[in-house]
Amino acid sequence: MRLVAGDPLTVDAVISEVNAVARTHLHIDRARPEQPLAVPTYAGLPLGSSHTVADVRIDPENTDWDALAAAPGPLILQATASHLAESARSLIDHQLAESTPCVVTAHGTTCQQRSVETTLQGLTDPAVLGATDPACSANGRDSQAGPLIVTIGKTVTSRAKLNWWESRALYGWTVLVPRTKDQAGEMSERLTSYGALLGDGRAAAQPRADGAPGQGLVDGRFQWIVFTSTNAVRAVWEKFGEFGLDARAFSGVKIACVGESTADRVRAFGISPELVPSGEQSSLGLLDDFPPYDSVFDPVNRVLLPRADIATETLAEGLRERGWEIEDVTAYRTVRAAPPPATTREMIKTGGFDAVCFTSSSTVRNLVGIAGKPHARSIIACIGPKTAEKAEFGLLYMIGPDTAVMAMSMRWPSMPGCALRVRCPRRARRAAGASGPPSSGERACLYTDTPTELAFCVRSRLRMSMSSYPRQRPRRLRSTVAMRRLVAQTSLEPRHLVLPMFVADGIDEPRPITSMPGVVQHTRDSLRRAAAAAVAAGVGGLMLFGVPRDQDKDGVGSAGIDPDGILNVALRDLAKDLGEATVLMADTCLDEFTDHGHCGVLDDRGRVDNDATVARYVELAVAQAESGAHVVGPSGMMDGQVAAIRDGLDAAGYIDVVILAYAAKFASAFYGPFREAVSSSLSGDRRTYQQEPGNAAEALREIELDLDEGADM
């Protein structure tokens, strides 16, 4: 700790020390200075010993702008929105550079403080004014009705490392902590210390029940007393006070506490509990460590369990299983408080609260009952597993610290792992229009027993994702055309396209395909011209479909295997004309060559014979490879077709010919135009070999099979 007279960032020696500390891993904090120049300090702006202050609100016309522009150190102006642009122009007119860095701060030294970095020229931009309080600007109000502090000079460059106030983990967050009046202290103070604005969150009142015990402890009727909450401790001690008793009444009675916060409340009354869970700070954790009843060593087998009227039976049943007799008394009753103000209820329902921190399962029930369910945009933090289990209210639990880890973190906040990330900051979420819950990968699964640790966890889990501006800016890679071109991962260019082309035998001129406007069945000559034009345009590949004359079709597609068939002749034409300038592909199927229009050979019962068809496909593929095809495309959806074709091509010496697998081809009327294009004479359908449209998993399996069989594309 360093004690400084006055504002610490107005002393050069102290500024040197602060800069030295900033270069380490240590966190910088400052006690609140009571000085007129506190605002620059809260904005992280070291003024040093030499600085100039001017109030331009009083008489701007008679202000000595020449002297202010020539001031050697930082210049601090007290202004309002109406004076800001005029003051900037006056300084520029008096030879202060337009590029001089500036910081405009509104609501200085408060939890609503907001600072915007700009330049002297930027002070004339209305957008800078709105940025100091976007919430007010969005509501159409004058966001600069109060005073503004403008800090001008090179000191602004130090703000990135000395900005301690607005860089706090929860700064700018509005947090609701549903609680009783007695629970408002420690957690609220801790959240506030991290910059959070607390909403009116009283959700339950907890009057003491008349059954709080007293005399039974004095009479020695109990071996143990088990406290499950700080409220139970408070209720018992209040009852003791009514009886005129103090801590001596616990002589001979062992005390167990469900967690450290409860144990701390007991210690505050001068008593050290004998048992606190060593692991999970919960009823289950306490049961893991609680000793079973032993008639030799335990003179009394009774356990006093003072707790709330709505407590669960987990602990009581577990103690009974260990041989103890339980006296379960209602130490206090939880009742719903009056509904919060209308503005609070509206913020709960519309996502006005960035986080809601539940400290018990009863606060979950009470808040939902009196004010409604928090909006999905609000982060839900829970003090422990029982609180988090209130999923029946439809809340998405997101944060809850682990007791063992966070207990150490409270003592050594610089330990690795204390700063954990959770979903994106409030402003980023709202700017993106986020309204739904985060993905399951962003949910937390840790718990704690103490409000202090929960407050710390909310802070530490959000710390890395909170800053004055986003730390990650993907838009940098979209800033210019050249940048976008450089980092493009996927693009669509002509070289990525394959042009289907249909060539028919026995025609003298191209024949239009009526169901495909602009597409034709080519003659050999028109095919050669169109193919050359497509390659010149940059098209990456040509897929050829042959259409034989009707009299050349038969039941086994012989015209497709015939070296003088139209498809094989056309392949040789294009291979001669284009060579390696393009990728020649051939449709390896039988439907255009068969008189029945099916993609395979039929058996005696008129069904497509899979194995006979696959053998025919091998002959087709080899004939197409011999004619110059670089790629063969078996499209008939026969089982084992890829493996058989691969073996056939390799055996014929065409190991470099690529197989394009039609891995998932669904039976569909959308193939109608293609059937017209190849003059298919199909009657019936192809459902026995093409896939059912609704079977996506089956399609994935077919794809895997084709890849395993050797498909290249």
SS3 readout for 109-132 = CCCCCEEEEEECHHHHCHHHHHHC
Chain-centroid distance of CA 71 in Å reads 48
Question: What pLDDT sits at residue 465?
Answer: 41
CATH architecture of 174-203+339-463: 3-Layer(aba) Sandwich (3.40)
The pLDDT value recorded for residue 632 is: 96
CA 284 – CA 386 distance, rounded (Å): 10
The mean pLDDT of 480-504, rounded to a whole number, is 88
Q: Is 183 exposed, middle or buried (0-12, 13-18, 19+ CB in 10 A)?
A: buried
Q: Where do the structural domains in the chain lie, given as residue ranges? A: 8-162, 174-203+339-463, 207-333, 494-709
Q: What percent of the chain has pLDDT over 70?
A: 77
| pLDDT band for position 32 (cuts 50, 70, 90) | low
pLDDT classification of 571: cutoffs 50, 70, 90: very high
The pLDDT of residue 670 is 74
Higher-scoring residue by pLDDT: 318, 451: 318
Q: In what order do the strands lie in the sheet with 254-257?
A: 254-257, 224-227, 302-308, 325-332
Under the banding of pLDDT at 50, 70 and 90, the label for residue 31 is: low
List the one residue out of 650, 683, 280, 628 whose CA is nearest residue 448.
280
Question: pLDDT confidence of 683, banded at 50, 70, 90?
Answer: low
Residue 296 half-sphere exposure toward CB, CA atoms < 13 A: 0
pLDDT bucket at 648, cuts 50 / 70 / 90: very high
**Range name among 128-137, 223-232, 446-455 with the lowest pLDDT average:** 446-455
Task: Please give the Cα distance from 141 to 137 (Å, whole number).
Answer: 6
Q: With residue 475 as reference, give the H or E element that holds it.
A: none
Structure tokens at 541: 């590949």
Say how far residue 85 (Cα) sits from the centre of its chain: 40
Q: Which pLDDT score, from 0 to 100, does residue 520 have?
A: 94
pLDDT band at 10 (very low <50, low <70, confident <90, very high): low
Q: Could you tell me the pLDDT band of residue 130, with boundaries at 50, 70 and 90?
A: low
CB-side neighbour CA atoms (13 Å) of 439: 2
Amino acid at 96: L
Q: Which residues pair with 503 in a beta bridge?
A: 522, 546
Rounded CA separation 381/398 (Å): 6
Predicted local confidence at residue 417, as pLDDT: 34
* Lowest-confidence segment of 286-300, 436-450, 625-639 by average pLDDT: 436-450
- If you average pLDDT over every residue of the chain, what do you get? 79
pLDDT of residue 320: 92
**Given a cut of 60, is residue 176 above it in pLDDT?**
yes
Q: Please determine whether the domains at 174-203+339-463 and 207-333 fall in the same fold group of CATH.
A: yes
Instruction: Give the lowest-confidence range in 14-23, 448-457, 560-569.
Output: 448-457
> Stretch 267-272: mean pLDDT, rounded?
90
- In Å, how far are 62, 203, 357, 475, 510 from 179, measured between CA atoms? 55, 5, 9, 42, 83
Question: And the tokens for 173?
Answer: 């967050």
- CB contact at 8 A, 217 and 250: yes
**Beta strand 325-332 pairing with 302-308:** parallel
Which region among 35-39, 261-265, 379-383 has the lowest average model confidence (pLDDT)?
Answer: 35-39
Residue 545, judged by CB atoms within 10 A of its CB (0-12, 13-18, 19+), counts as: buried
Is a pLDDT exceeding 60 seen at residue 421?
Answer: no
**Cα torsion through 402, 403, 408, 414, rounded to 10:** 30
Inform me whether the pLDDT recorded for 346 exceeds 60.
yes
Cβ atoms within 10 A of the Cβ of 624, count? 29
Q: What per-residue confidence (pLDDT) applies to 680?
A: 76
- Using an 8 Å Cβ cutoff, are 608 and 635 in contact? no
Assign a CATH topology to domain 207-333. Answer: Rossmann fold (3.40.50)
Q: SS3 of 254, please?
A: strand
The answer to whether residues 528 and 574 touch, using CB atoms and an 8 Å cutoff, is: yes
Conformational region of residue 424, where left means phi above 0, alpha means psi within -120 to 50, and beta covers everything else? beta
**Residue 354 pLDDT greater than 70, yes or no:** yes
Residue type, 1: M
What's the gap between Cα 583 and its chain centre? 44
Instruction: Identify any residues that bridge with 302 across adjacent strands, giving them in sequence order.
Output: 325
Is residue 516 a contact partner of residue 499, using CB atoms and an 8 Å limit? no
Q: Which amino acid is located at 310 in the chain?
A: I
Higher pLDDT, 423 or 640: 640
CA 685 to chain centre: 47
User: Who has greater pLDDT, 445 or 675?
Assistant: 675
Question: pLDDT above 90 covers what percent of the chain?
Answer: 34
Q: Which is more confidently placed, 91 or 132?
A: 91
Region 406-422 average pLDDT: 33
* Of 153-157, 217-221, 350-354, 610-614, minimum mean pLDDT range: 217-221
Coil, strand or helix at 214: coil
Asked if pLDDT for residue 411 goes beyond 50, the answer is: no
Contacts of 626 (CB under 8 A, 6+ apart): 563, 568, 652, 654
More confident residue, 207 or 18: 18
Q: What CATH number matches the domain at 8-162, 3.30.950.10, 3.40.220.10, 3.60.21.10, 3.40.50.720?
A: 3.30.950.10
Which residues, other chains included, contact 602 with Cβ-Cβ below 8 Å and sequence gap of 6+? 555, 596, 608, 609
Residue 362 confidence (pLDDT): 72
For domain 494-709, give its CATH number from 3.40.1500.10, 3.30.1370.100, 3.20.20.70, 3.30.1490.20: 3.20.20.70
Q: Are the CB atoms for 96 and 124 separated by under 8 Å?
A: no
From residue 627, alpha-carbon distances to 239, 566, 584, 636, 658 in Å are: 102, 11, 10, 21, 14
Angle, vertex CA 459, rays to CA 403 and CA 439, nearest 5:
85
User: In angstroms, how far is CA 144 from the centroid of its own chain?
Assistant: 34
Report the relative pairing of strands 520-522 and 541-547 from DSSP bridges. unpaired
The confidence score (pLDDT) of residue 693 equals 81
